[in-house]
A and B are shown apart, each in its own frame.
Chain A
Amino acid sequence: MTRQPGTSGLIFNEPNVWDKSREGRCAISLPRADVDRAPLDPALTGDTPDLPQLSELDVVRHYTRLSQWNFGVDSGMYPLGSCTMKYNPKTNEVQAARQGFAGAHPLAGEAFSQGALRLMYELEQYLAEITGFAGVTLQPAAGAHGELAGMLIIHAYHAKQGRQRSKIIIPDTAHGTNPASATLCGYKSVNLKSGPKGILEPDAVAALMDEETAGIMITNPNTLGLFEEHIKEICDIVHAKGGLVYGDGANMNAIMGVVKPGDAGIDVLHLNLHKTFSTPHGGGGPGSGPVAVTEALIPFLPIPRVEKQLDSFRFVTDCPDTIGRMHTFYGHFGVMIKAYAYILSMGAQGLLDASRLAVLNANYIKESLKDTLNLPYDRPCMHECVFNDIRQKSYHITTMDMAKRLLDYGFHPPTVYFPLVVEGAFMVEPTETESKDDIDQFINAVKAIAKEAESAPEKLTRAPVLPKVTRLDEVSAARKPCLRG
């Protein structure tokens, strides 16, 4: 067996940044004052904020040391289910940093921003083609923000029909953001149980769908990593009662070039550029959550919209049915550049291959580990597979223990305890950019951990031992919150 990647090495202790502060230091080069001082009325000025006082090297060393306590995709395999932690290409960063993009002021005027507008327009076109929709907005700042935009569009659509509805159907395999987004639109969530095969049954949808129901929110492939095989029938049922189908496209990475959700009957779909389209997650954002819609819903898209006229591009705000504005300017343009560069680098075949290999990797892990971990839904999966800890229960070992032990082996753990439909879920999404060699190493690590669970369970319950800190006391953190130094 090859050696596992996890090992210990020299990392550094580092105090809070203010503990390094010494009166009189300053790490910024201050410009020469070439105009007179213009003192403000002292009644308006306040005490100077008590920021740390450091030299430039102090700052560099502080953040370099902090970074070394982190695990990123560039450090190792990061198979976090539903999060699509694929490789973030470095050329995308170079493209986004170009002065013409990074230095662009949002209010410079259309005539002086044609490159940015063209990029946005073309990215909209590409995403529309990939998803099979007629129109796209890039404005939402993250997946959940896109979801909110989508729900606002559904809400505006029903208002335009002259009769608002009160409920929305949300399956138990949905992302947690779905019910929260629906609530923001005043819709009451109606829970829909998935069937015994882990997918939705058309009859169950038909039983809930009525003319008080605005629509349904479907994640496809769902959070069990399964394709919703009855998607077309379900869309027909919802449409027949005048409802709309919202698609959570967080899992689009499984089906690029294979299925166009727009063709399957979905009305509104959000995408996560920071998942499917390779832009970095940044330790929690910034992301970008474009929304794609059918022809009938284009009038409701947020403003401003980008329009092409002959060979030039402009912003359009004169859209009477629009849901309004979602972002101060045009959304996370910096993230759009990276996704655009990714699509241009991949091309049609590259995106199809990415989805195929993402699905290959997930099924390979599923088959390789199903004798080690329990697999509640033993069916061909898409880009992720969901195990649980039932077999380890008799050794008093939980999913959490296995996840923490994986850290010692040098892997980021999968998503744990989600989706909620699987108790003790252990949800693996390898993505297409992990090689067979790295995946084999991961499989071996999980097998070794499962053996340890039987023979030396304390290795798991005490894990992790190699990272900078051991398990943290989340109970005290929540009972007596300390949110600032």
Chain B
Amino acid sequence: MKEINDLNLPEDVKYTKDHEWAKPEGDTVTIGINDYAQDQLGEIVFVELPEVGDSFSAEDEFGSVESVKAVSELYMPISGEVVAVNENLEDAPELVNEDCYQGGWIIKVKPSDSAQMDALMDKAAYLEMLKG
């Protein structure tokens, strides 16, 4: 597993305590799991996705990622309605391992309250949390 200093944690996304990332793009926010989470889980074999149109509140469970011997729930960084899911993950869940911030994105949501983004951590705060 990677050392904390080797983690790829981009500056242009926000982080949650459950190791999701969220990135505003236009009027939607793209959500995925970060490098730390994919590294901890190991080889991902399945991503359980919500359906387009589902609505969730911040911190609701919206899906899960599975490795061979573990399941990890996915939690909403912010409240909103799902407007797109990454259908490529159905056949290629390994995208989450290989490219968790681009090809391995999980859902796009239309936020119900954009201000919730401000409550999420930036890279520095997230690193601080990881180092405990």
Q: Which residues of B contact A417 (CB under 8 A)?
A: 69
Q: A475-B43, A475-B45, A478-B66 are in contact. List 7 more A-B contacts (CB 8 A).
A: A474-B68, A475-B68, A478-B45, A478-B46, A478-B68, A479-B45, A479-B94
With the chains together, A36 CA to B68 CA distance in Å? 56
Interface centre among B45, B66, B93 (most CB of A within 10 A): B45
Q: Which residues of B contact A478 (CB under 8 A)?
A: 45-46, 66, 68
Across the interface, which residues of A come within 8 angstroms of B66, CB to CB? 478
Which A residue's beta carbon lies closest to that of B43? A475
Give Cα distance in the complex from A475 to B46, angstroms: 10
Can you report 13 residue pairs joining A to B where beta carbons are below 8 Å apart?
A417-B69, A474-B68, A475-B43, A475-B45, A475-B68, A478-B45, A478-B46, A478-B66, A478-B68, A479-B45, A479-B46, A479-B93, A479-B94
Complex interface residues of chain B between 80 and 127 (CB less than 8 A to chain A): 93-94
Residue of chain B at shortest CB distance from A478:
B45
Q: What is the chain B residue whose CB lies nearest that of A475?
A: B43
Question: Who on chain B is nearest to A474 by CB?
Answer: B68
A417 CA / B69 CA spacing, docked (Å): 10
Please report the C-alpha to C-alpha distance between residue A478 and residue B69 in the assembled complex, in whole angstroms: 10
| Chain A contacts for B69, CB-based, 8 A | 417
Q: Would you give the shortest CB distance from A475 to chain B, in whole angstroms?
A: 5
A479 to B45, CA, bound (A): 5
Q: Please classify how large the interface on chain A is, using the bins under 10, 10 to 19, 20 to 34, 35 or more.
A: under 10
Q: How far is the CA of A101 from the CA of B46 in the complex (A)?
A: 47
A474 contact set on B, CB distance < 8 A: 68
Q: How far is the CA of A479 from the CA of B94 in the complex (A)?
A: 9
A475 to B93, CA, bound (A): 11
In this complex, what residue of A is CB-closest to B66? A478
**Measured between C-beta atoms, what is the minimum distance from B91 to chain A in Å?**
8
Q: Which 8 A-B pairs have the closest CB atoms?
A: A478-B45, A475-B43, A479-B45, A474-B68, A478-B68, A475-B68, A475-B45, A479-B93
In the complex, what's the smallest C-beta–C-beta distance from A480 to chain B, in angstroms? 8
| Nearest CB in chain A: distance from B102 CB, A | 20
In the bound complex, CA of A475 to CA of B96 (Å): 14
Q: How far is the CA of A474 from the CA of B68 in the complex (A)?
A: 7
- A residues 263-295 touching B (CB-CB < 8 Å): none
B41-65 toward A: CB 8 Å interface, digit per residue (1/0)?
A: 0010110000000000000000000
Distance (whole angstroms) from the CB of A24 to the closest CB of chain B: 41
Closest Cβ of chain B to A473, distance in Å, is: 10
Q: Which residues of B contact A475 (CB under 8 A)?
A: 43, 45, 68
Residues from chain A with Cβ under 8 Å of B43 in the complex: 475
CA distance A479 to B68 in the complex (A): 9
Binary per-residue interface labels of chain B (2-21) against chain A in the complex, 1 for a CB within 8 Å, 0 otherwise: 00000000000000000000
Which residues in window 464-485 of A have CB below 8 A to B? Answer: 474-475, 478-479
Which residues of chain A are within 8 angstroms of B93 by Cβ–Cβ distance?
479
Interface string of A79-93 (1 = CB under 8 A from B): 000000000000000
Q: How far is the CB of B41 from chain A (nearest CB, A)?
A: 12
Provide the bound-state CA to CA distance between A263 and B43, in Å: 48
In the bound complex, CA of A479 to CA of B66 (Å) = 10
Report B-chain residues with C-beta under 8 Å of the C-beta of A479.
45-46, 93-94
How distant is the Cα of A123 from the Cα of B97 in the complex, in angstroms? Answer: 54
A153 to chain B, nearest CB (A): 30
CB distance from A396 to the nearest CB of B (A): 12
Query: Which chain B residue shows the least CB distance to A479?
Result: B45
Kindly identify, within residues 433 to 485 of chain A, every residue whose CB is under 8 Å from any CB belonging to chain B.
474-475, 478-479
Chain A nearest CB, measured from B73 CB (Å)? 15
Most chain B CB within a 10 A radius of its CB, from A417, A474, A478: A478
A474 to B69, CA, bound (A): 10
Which residue from chain A places its CB closest to the CB of B69 in the assembled complex? A417
Q: For B94, what are the chain A residues with a Cβ–Cβ distance below 8 Å? A: 479
Nearest-CB distance from A415 to chain B (Å)?
14
Q: How far is A400 from B22 in the complex, measured between Cα atoms in Å?
A: 36
Least CB separation from B68: chain A residue: A474
* Min CB–CB distance B1 → chain A (angstroms): 12
Residues of A within 8 A of B45 (CB): 475, 478-479
Least CB distance, B30 to chain A, in whole angstroms? 24
- From residue A148, how far is it (CB to closest CB) to chain B in Å? 22
Assembly CA distance A254 to B12 (angstroms): 58
Closest Cβ of chain B: how far from A390's Cβ, in Å? Answer: 16
Whole-angstrom distance between the Cβ of A279 and the nearest chain B Cβ: 29
Chain B nearest CB: distance from A183 CB in Å? Answer: 15
Nearest A residue to B94, CB-CB: A479
Q: In the complex, what residue of chain A is closest to B92 when comparing beta carbons?
A: A479
Expressed in whole angstroms, the Cα–Cα distance for A311 and B82 within the complex equals: 69
